[in-house]
Structures are given as C-alpha cells and as structure tokens.
A and B are shown apart, each in its own frame.
Chain A
C-alpha cells in the first residue's frame, strides 16, 4: 500500500511538474506573442534601400514634412488595416489623437502645400504598394511583419 502510494505520488508529482512546465511554456509563448503584438515596427519592401532613422524623423515623415536625405525615405503610408496598431502608432510616434492628426495633415496640405499621406487598409495592398515604391515606408506590429512576405523590418518603432 505504501509502495503503491509512493508510486501514485511520484506519478502525480510528474504530472504536476509537466503541467506546470507546459503552463509556463505556454505562458511564455503567449507573452512573446503579446509582446510581438504590441511591438510596432517600421517596414519597407524587401529590396528597399531605405535606412534606419530617428523616431523624430519618422514623425516628420508621417506629418508629410521633408526629412533628411540620409535615410532615403521618400513617402509614408498609414496602415489602417489594424486599428490597434494605428492607435499605438498615434500614441507612441505621433503623440496625438486621430482627429488631431487628421486636422494637422489637412491644415498642412492646404496651408503649406504639403503632399497627402497615403492611407491603405489592407495588408496585401500595403505590400504591393511598398514593392512598387521601394523608397516608401509603413508600420505594423512585429507579429504581423513576421508573417508577411515581401517586406522587411527597418527598425522597431515602439
């Protein structure tokens, strides 16, 4: 009986150990996946020659303002396919609300003769656009970027 109990206890301990390990592993996977969901990256076409630049320069580019020529970036594309990523982009990079951002863009266009900032709400279209315009950039979560073919990550934004 004692032996039987000891075997049972060992088995239960093993099961608990496996369960705890699996739980921990799953949790770490979820954490990594969540982190990737909340990490935003700057992307360009796979063969794009554009370089890393400061977040300040990226903010200027997304306002439609000229940027230094060192980064080779010509235009930007606002990714509207993921509302959460767009919200994070506004919060972390532009430091403004959607209405504030739109107000700023319209004023700049009709006040200073600025160019429109492109908006695309479909990942496939973004990839196609970037492939056709290798000097242009957009943003998305690291998770989506990992799964998307035809683009490369230039740098982490947030």
Chain B
C-alpha cells in the first residue's frame, strides 16, 4: 500500500513535470503544424513509459544505462532506468510525413531530448527516405533502447550497450521488401553527431568530454519471420574528442560491426548478439556479446542472460573487461502493460580501466505503451 502510494505520487509528480517539459520541447512542432494546412486529425500520437526502481544489494554502484550514465547505488532509486517518450507523426500528404519523438530519461535528470525529428518521404510502397535526426542503429536494441515494453529485461544487457553516441543527424534510406516468406529491412544511412559534455564519457572520466562522430556511413540488413530474426550491421566513420576543451583525438577512424540472431520457437525465446568496435590507430579493439534464454508460461516470461564486454589490452593500458549475469521475470499484466523483476550480477575484471566494480542489483520495472 505504502509502495503503491509512493509510486503513484512519484508518477504524478514526475508525470506532470515530464509532460510540461515534453510540451515545451514539442511547441515548435505544433506551431509548425498549426501554421501548415495539416488538420489535427492527421496527427498520430504513440508513446511509452518505463518506470523502474532498484538498488545495489552487494557492491557499491551499478552502471545500468551506459549512454545516459544511469547508475544505481545502495539506496533505492527510480532515476537510472526510468524513461518516458512521446511520438508524434503528422501526414503532410500521402507520401510525406513529419516524425518527432521526445524522450525524458531519469538518468539525465528528466531533461527532455529529441530522439527523432525527421521528415519521411515514401518513394514507393517499399522504399522510404528520411532526413533529420534519428537514433543510431548500431546494436539490435539501439533504435528502441528506452522502450522497455519491447523486450523482457528491465534494460537491454548493459555490457552490450556501452555506446556514447546514440543519435545522428543526416539521411537514411530504408527498403522493406518481402522476400520468399521473410520480412526484410535494408537501411543505409549517413550523418554525424556532436555531443557536448557527453554523458557517459564525462561521467567515466570525471571531466568535460566533447565527442563528435562524423562522416558516419552505415548499413543494417534484417530478415525476420515469426520464429526467427537475423540482423547484421556495419558502420564506419571518424571521431573527434576533446577533454576539458583540449583536443585529444581528431579524424580518428572507427568502425562498428555486429550480428544478432533471435529465435522464437513456440514458448522458447533465444536472443543473441555479437558486436565489434575498432579504432585501429588508437589500438582499441572491443567486442561485446550476449546470450539470453526466455520461456513464456502464459503471461509470465522468466529469463536468464549473460552479457560481456572485452577490450583487447593495448599499450595505453586499455583493458575494459566486464560481464553481467541476469535473471528475471516479466509479467504481461495486459496487452499494453508489463511488470518486471530482475537481478543482475556484474563482474568487473578491468584493472587499468575498471568501470564501477563488482555489484549485485535488484530492480523492479513497469512498462507500458499507449
């Protein structure tokens, strides 16, 4: 009863704050819409909310959300994994639409950011082109990282999702045919992102780090059926970095590649992912991997997951190396709401570059879409 009251009060307060912030951030969009000949009936609204609370039960801190530097400590906290997003799509005509998605993360003190802000033009029934701001589709869950409803964990396995740049501004071309009984998606994109005072890097280095990923060109290929999904991704580009306004890296080449294979065999769910990130001139070679098994017993899906990040030791002493074992259960309360419990055990083996040390964390989550 007490917990329920606290959650309701929290949701009420944070909901009002978030709503006002989201409205503020989307005002330019509405002004644009009101000035255009688009009717309100042409605006489609969708959204999601993930409210999670947790605490470290053994150890000191747990970095649950790398991109937003969401950290649990020994006290119960709602901030690290809580996020709310609202998506607005408006049709300008049969082929052109504006899409924006405003997101507020607890980890970033509930500041509202634009996840997406782009125009989408339908070249044919299978080909669309987008221009503007989008999420960077590196990992399998990159596009919908904050949408807890779309997966059975409270958050995607943290070791896998250790990326500091999550968006890009540029162009994207998508081709979605149906090939021999498989739904296919091919996405080619190009763009850049400038991140001042980057959340993750500034947190880890305890300094102000500005990071730019530029000349990014990438491709994603995906094939899916009801029982299987295969995804391959590749991106290359250049990186600029400055620490406390001192340039440390410029025009450094980097590349990312990854594969995901998922199976849904009756009630059994098998999820896997393997990724490689390389900056050859800096002698940085990192691989991340994840394997997860889930089984759906009606409305309940217990799951077990192991994920790991390993950096090949280099002359600079880079040896980031950690893994996480997780068990949890998702309860599909109804078609739009899920409740989750998860326990994560982190082993941090990095000596020169430890992240936040070993930890055990218990967390609870509520996810819904509307």
Per-position 1/0 for B87-128, Cβ under 8 A of A:
101000010000101000000000000001010101011101
Expressed in whole angstroms, the minimum distance between the Cβ of B240 and any Cβ of chain A is 29
Question: B174 — nearest CB in chain A belongs to which residue?
Answer: A112
Residues from chain A with a CB closer than 8 A to the CB of B149 are 106
Q: Indicate if the CB atoms of A113 and B101 lie closer than 8 Å.
A: yes
Question: B115 — nearest CB in chain A belongs to which residue?
Answer: A110
Which of A59, A69, A102, A106 is within 8 Å of B178, CB to CB?
Answer: A59
Per-position 1/0 for B204-234, Cβ under 8 A of A:
0000000000000000000011110000000
Residues from chain B with a CB closer than 8 A to the CB of A99 are 264, 296
Expressed in whole angstroms, the minimum distance between the Cβ of A148 and any Cβ of chain B is 25
Interface size counted on chain B using CB atoms at 8 A: 35
Residues from chain B with a CB closer than 8 A to the CB of A69 are 94
The tally of CB-CB contacts under 8 A between chains A and B is 68
**Is B16 positioned at the interface, with any CB of A under 8 Å from its CB?**
no
**Is B320 positioned at the interface, with any CB of A under 8 Å from its CB?**
no
Bound Cα distance from A100 to B174, whole angstroms: 22
Expressed in whole angstroms, the minimum distance between the Cβ of B156 and any Cβ of chain A is 13
Q: Indicate if the CB atoms of B147 and A106 lie closer than 8 Å.
A: yes
**Is A56 positioned at the interface, with any CB of B under 8 Å from its CB?**
yes
Q: Given A68-B125, A97-B226, A102-B335, verify A109-B87 contact (CB < 8 Å).
A: yes
Expressed in whole angstroms, the minimum distance between the Cβ of B269 and any Cβ of chain A is 10
Bound Cα distance from A96 to B126, whole angstroms: 21
Q: Given A96-B226, A100-B226, verify A113-B125 contact (CB < 8 Å).
A: no
Question: A116 — nearest CB in chain B belongs to which residue?
Answer: B46
**Is A10 positioned at the interface, with any CB of B under 8 Å from its CB?**
no
Q: Indicate if the CB atoms of B99 and A113 lie closer than 8 Å.
A: yes
Bound Cα distance from A65 to B175, whole angstroms: 11
* Majority secondary structure of chain B interface residues (helix, strand, loop or mixed): strand
Expressed in whole angstroms, the minimum distance between the Cβ of A51 and any Cβ of chain B is 14
Q: Indicate if the CB atoms of A95 and B87 lie closer than 8 Å.
A: no
Bound Cα distance from A135 to B125, whole angstroms: 17
Residues from chain B with a CB closer than 8 A to the CB of A115 are 44, 46, 89
Residues from chain A with a CB closer than 8 A to the CB of B87 are 109-110, 113
Residues from chain B with a CB closer than 8 A to the CB of A65 are 125, 176
| Chain A interface size, under 10 / 10 to 19 / 20 to 34 / 35 or more | 20 to 34
Expressed in whole angstroms, the minimum distance between the Cβ of B360 and any Cβ of chain A is 30
Q: Indicate if the CB atoms of A110 and B150 lie closer than 8 Å.
A: yes
Q: Given A96-B226, A97-B226, A116-B44, verify A110-B264 contact (CB < 8 Å).
A: no
Q: Indicate if the CB atoms of A110 and B143 lie closer than 8 Å.
A: yes
Q: Given A60-B125, A99-B296, verify A113-B89 contact (CB < 8 Å).
A: yes
**Is A147 positioned at the interface, with any CB of B under 8 Å from its CB?**
no
**Is A14 positioned at the interface, with any CB of B under 8 Å from its CB?**
no
Expressed in whole angstroms, the minimum distance between the Cβ of A63 and any Cβ of chain B is 8
State which residues 99-121 of A face B: CB under 8 Å: 99-100, 102-104, 106-107, 109-113, 115-116
Bound Cα distance from A67 to B101, whole angstroms: 24
Residues from chain A with a CB closer than 8 A to the CB of B224 are 104
Residues from chain A with a CB closer than 8 A to the CB of B147 are 106, 110
Bound Cα distance from A30 to B224, whole angstroms: 40
Bound Cα distance from A63 to B224, whole angstroms: 13
State which residues 65-83 of A face B: CB under 8 Å: 65-69
Bound Cα distance from A53 to B24, whole angstroms: 43
**Is B48 positioned at the interface, with any CB of A under 8 Å from its CB?**
yes
**Is B252 positioned at the interface, with any CB of A under 8 Å from its CB?**
no
Q: Indicate if the CB atoms of A113 and B116 lie closer than 8 Å.
A: yes
State which residues 255-303 of B face A: CB under 8 Å: 264, 296
Identify 20 residue pairs between A and B in the complex whose beta-carbon atoms are under 8 Å apart, listed by A's number: A59-B178, A65-B176, A66-B126, A67-B125, A68-B125, A69-B94, A96-B225, A97-B226, A99-B264, A100-B226, A107-B150, A110-B46, A110-B101, A110-B143, A112-B174, A113-B89, A113-B101, A113-B118, A115-B44, A116-B46
The 4 closest A-B pairs by CB, nearest first: A96-B226, A113-B99, A111-B143, A100-B226
Known: A67-B125, A106-B150. 5 other contacts (CB 8 A): A95-B225, A103-B150, A106-B149, A106-B369, A110-B143
Interfacial residues, chain B to chain A (CB-CB below 8 A) = 44, 46, 48, 85, 87, 89, 94, 99, 101, 116, 118, 120, 122, 124-126, 128, 143-144, 147, 149-150, 174, 176, 178, 181, 183, 224-227, 264, 296, 335, 369
